[in-house]
Amino acid sequence: MKAELFDLVETLGEGTVLPSERELAERFSVSRVTLRQAVSELVLEGKLIRRQGSGTFVAPPKLVQPLSLVSYTEGMRRQGVEPTRTVITLEELSADDGLARDLMLEPGDPVVHLERVLLADDERIGLESTYLSSRRFPDLMDKLDPAGSLYACLTERLGVRFAEAEERVETVLATPREALLIGTNPALPMLLLHRVSYDVEGHPIERARSLYRGDRFSFVARLHADR
């Protein structure tokens, strides 16, 4: 049933509303329960999108971000998508033990915390929290446009040179707060990235936690054989 429904979805154009449940059940000679299960699985896989009060639609292709030292802004614009951000939190706080270790600070040292909802063509697709040393970047809160590119601010205004990053990707479910901010169903799988970026001298620049909608986002990496 799912394969047959997927074949139908592939023939429909992006944004096309799916025929009614009754029509599809009759077309494929299955029960509505079986049909709903197939639709739910395709929603989880990002092939279909449910819109409250409007119906179920064929989803656009997933956005693809490279696993590399490319900013969110650059990655989106390469795909012809306009990235924007909504600021949730901009504050200074004290580093706990884990954050201090990752940023090579002492526990209790001041850090800047920036939390933003990530949008692509005005569609909410993720939530990002970034931490940076306040002592290393004392002018950051004055020079940063919180709705703009953090990487652009660091490189163009503060003279930072990114050299490498350690990144870990896993699949999680969003918390109720995260799902509300991103505007997604808490039952949908999310892609979670943990990253610590370093400069050319090996000093940590930032620690970031980025949560992306699994139905709208994917990641790609280019691998090379050891020589």
pLDDT in tens, 194-203: 999 999 999 9
CATH class, range 63-220: alpha beta
What is this structure's pTM?
Answer: 0.81
- The pLDDT assigned to 46 comes to 79
* 3-class state of residue 210 by DSSP: strand
Q: Which pLDDT score, from 0 to 100, does residue 45 have? A: 78
Instruction: Specify the pLDDT at position 227.
Output: 67
Q: Which band of pLDDT confidence, cut at 50, 70 and 90, is reported for residue 15? A: confident
pLDDT at 170 over 70: yes
Determine which of 29-33, 194-198, 201-205, 223-227 has the lowest per-residue pLDDT on average. Answer: 223-227
The proportion of the chain whose per-residue pLDDT surpasses 90, expressed as a percent, equals 52
Of 141, 159, 134, 20, nearest in space to 90 by CA: 141
On the question of pLDDT at 78 being above 90, the answer is no
Residues 6+ apart with CB under 8 A from 94: 107, 108, 109, 110, 111
Instruction: Map tokens 């200074």 to a residue.
Output: 92
User: Which residues, at least 6 apart from 87, have a Cβ–Cβ distance to it below 8 Å?
Assistant: 114, 115, 116, 146, 147
pLDDT digits (tens, 9 = 90+) for 184-194: 888 888 999 99
pLDDT at 108: 97
pLDDT tens string 99-157: 999 999 999 999 999 999 999 999 999 999 999 999 999 999 999 998 889 999 999 99
Start and end residues for every CATH 1.10.10.10 domain found in the chain = 2-58
**What pLDDT score was predicted for residue 43?**
83
Q: What pLDDT was estimated at residue 86?
A: 95
Domain 2-58, classified CATH 3.40.50.300, yes or no: no
By percentage, how much of the chain surpasses pLDDT 70? 100
Portions of the chain given CATH number 3.40.1410.10? 63-220
Classified as helix, coil or strand, 28 is: helix
Check whether 44 has a pLDDT greater than 80: no
User: Is-contact 111 133, C-beta < 8 A?
Assistant: yes
**The pLDDT of residue 73:** 85
Residue 1 has pLDDT above 80, yes or no: no
Instruction: Give the Cα separation of 204 and 27 in Å (integer).
Output: 58
